[in-house]
Structure 1
C-alpha cells in the first residue's frame, strides 16, 4: 500500500471527500500522529514555563512547611508542659526556702509559709554549735580565756 494517498489534492475538504468516496468503510480508530515542529516548539516553551512555576511553588511550599513545622513544634512543647502540670497537679519550681530544725526533723518552708519538704535531721544539724571556726580565726579554741576580746 502507498504511504500517502490523495496528496496531489491541495484543498483539505476535497481531499476528505476523495477519501470518503473511495474508502470501503469509515471506522473510528485511535493512533499516534506526529506533532508538527511549530507546535513542538510551543509545547516545549509551555513545559519550561510549567517547570519554572512548579519549582517556585515547591520552594514556597518548603518555606511554608518549615514555618508550619516550627509553629507545630512550639505548640506541642507548650501542650506537653501543660499536660505534665495537669497530670501531676503540680509544677517544679526553684525558690528560696527557710530551713527549720525541730525534734530531729528538718522542715523547709516556702515564702508563703507552707512546708514543702521534710526529712530527718543529720547528726551535724541536731546540736547547734556555740562557736564556729571563723570565730577563732586560726587560734586554738582551748587557749582562749574569754578576756582577749
Structure 2
C-alpha cells in the first residue's frame, strides 16, 4: 500500500465508497489534517485580526487597571497606617512639644500640650550650657531669685 488510496476517483462520494468497500473497519480517529495553501493563508489572516483585537482589549484593560490601582493606592496606604497604629496602640503625630533640661540630672525631657512626658534622654552639651534665664548655682549658697534677697 502507498501513502494514498483511491486518488483515481475525482468525486468525493466515489472515493468514500471505494474506501468503505475495501477497508477492514471504519473507526473514528483524531489526527492532524494539513491545510491547503488557501486555508493556511486564511487562518494566518484570521490570526492577525484576533491578535490585533487582543492587543486593543489588553490596552483597554491596562488603562482600567491603572485607574483602579490609582483609586486603591491611597486606601491601601490608609489601611497600612491604621494597622500599624492599632498594632502600636498609638499614632504618630507632629505637634508642638515643650523641652525641659534638668542640668543637675543632665537629662532633657519633652512634654506635650497635655503635660504628658513623651521623651526623656541624656542632655547634650549645648543643652547644658548656661543661659540668661538659668539661675547660676553656687555650692553651699541658696540661689538668688530676686524675691527674698
Q: TM-score range by the shorter chain?
A: 0.5 to 0.7
Deviation at 1:24, TM superposition (A): 4.2
Is 1:70 aligned with 2:70? yes
Taking a change above 3 Å as real, the CA distance of residues 17 and 99 of structure 1, as seen in their structure-2 partners, is closer
Checking the alignment, whether the CA contact within 8 Å between 2:20 and 2:26 is kept in structure 1 is: no
Equivalent residue, structure 2, for 1:82: 82
Equivalent residue, structure 2, for 1:36: 36
Superposed CA RMSD: 3.7
Name the SS of the counterpart of 1:115 in structure 2. coil
Is 1:11 aligned with 2:11? yes
Runs of 4 or more above 4 Å deviation = 96-101, 104-109, 118-123
Equivalent residue, structure 1, for 2:135: 127
Equivalent residue, structure 1, for 2:20: 20
Query: Could you say which structure has the higher helix fraction?
Result: 1
Point out where structure 2 has 5 or more consecutive residues left out of the alignment.
137-149
Point out where structure 1 has 5 or more consecutive residues left out of the alignment.
129-149
**Alpha-carbon separation, structure 2, partners of 1:109 and 1:19:** 100
**Alpha-carbon separation, structure 2, partners of 1:2 and 1:84:** 78
Instruction: Give 1:108-123 correspondences, 5 Å limit.
Output: 108=111, 110=113, 114-117=114-117
**Alpha-carbon separation, structure 1, partners of 2:84 and 2:26:** 75
Taking a change above 3 Å as real, the CA distance of residues 61 and 127 of structure 1, as seen in their structure-2 partners, is same
